[in-house]
Amino acid sequence: MSRHIAEVVENIEIACKIYKMTIISNQVAQSAYPGQFIHISIPHDESLLLRRPISINRVNRNNNQVDIIYQVVGKGTKILSGLEKGAELDILGPLGKGFWIPKGTKKIYIVGGGCGVAPVRFIGERWDYLDITSFLGFRGKPWAYQIDEFERFSRKVFVSSDDGTIGYKGSIISLLDKHLSVENPDLVMACGPVPMIQALQKTVLKYDIPCQISLEERMGCGVGGCLVCSCAIGSKDKWDYKKVCTDGPVFWSEEVILDGESETKC
């Protein structure tokens, strides 16, 4: 992890209020792995003191380019969306403990919901030698993105939307459940909003399938000092608080105790 200046190469809207920014960062491109994130200082507004944690979507180690994806939801991300080529960003990263592949894993299911689609794309880029099936859930067609990118490394890609304007109408976890009833992967790897993750926890438990989940939390420092991103890890009988920024954001699904809504890092 290091603090450094990254240069913006491209910053484009790829879906409704969802932007892909490409930056040049040797430190991130050469050392990041799936599930990690960067912490960005918002420029041009001194009132925005806290950095914004944003997941890493892709890295290119040949030219040191890094793709990040974020949704415009407030003042900070609105400022980010207006940055042009050549702009400089003060970033920390890469941060966090990401996804990993246990020994003997051959077949994986990737599950992404909404902004959670962004970080799980990096899984397929990094471990494209595995047998990968991807499940992507969106609010509707205007919010869908990067489906073609998943098709490059996935044996199959299944898409759902809440309103039925693209793919299967309904929850992506309902669609996943249908496939798990006939085929079990060695591992499920996922990121998405809390309701999706809660449904996923129940589903993988039903089929007894190992699952890693990346949690989306608001963060302060990003390096474990402020405790803003603490979450409950363990069981309902015995648990402790862990820091999403340093102990995670990726955990085994059976470890995580979720209650209510969570903030997002996209």
The pLDDT tens digits for 7-22 are 999 999 999 999 999 9
Distance of alpha carbon 131 from alpha carbon 127, whole angstroms? 9
Confidence check: pLDDT of 260 > 70: no
Segment 100-116 shows an average pLDDT of 97
Segment 254-261 shows an average pLDDT of 74
The share of the chain scoring above pLDDT 90, in percent, equals: 78
Segment 107-121 shows an average pLDDT of 98
pTM over 0.85: yes
Tokens representing residue 170 in the block: 């309904």
Tokens representing residue 11 in the block: 């910053």
The two counts, helices (H) then strands (E), for the chain are 6, 16
pLDDT value, residue 220:
60
Confidence check: pLDDT of 234 > 80: no
Confidence check: pLDDT of 262 > 60: no
Which position has the higher pLDDT, 222 or 127? 127
- Average pLDDT over all residues of the chain: 90
| C-alpha 174: how far from chain center | 20
pLDDT value, residue 25:
97
Q: Please, which pLDDT band fits residue 102 given cuts at 50, 70 and 90?
A: very high
Confidence check: pLDDT of 221 > 60: no
Which position has the higher pLDDT, 49 or 129? 129
Tokens representing residue 160 in the block: 């759902």
Confidence check: pLDDT of 264 > 60: no
Segment 103-116 shows an average pLDDT of 98
pLDDT value, residue 124:
96
Evaluate whether 18 touches 70 at the Cβ level (below 8 Å): yes
pLDDT value, residue 134:
99
Query: Under CATH, domain 2-95 is a member of which superfamily?
Result: Translation factors (2.40.30.10)
Which position has the higher pLDDT, 116 or 243? 116
| 136-156 tens-digit pLDDT | 999 999 999 999 999 999 999
pLDDT value, residue 261:
46
Instruction: Report phi then psi at 139, rounded to 5.
Output: -65, -40
Which position has the higher pLDDT, 244 or 222? 244
Every domain of the chain and the residues it spans: 2-95, 107-257
pLDDT value, residue 263:
41
Helix (H) / strand (E) containing 233: strand 230-234
- CATH level 3 topology of 107-257: Rossmann fold (3.40.50)
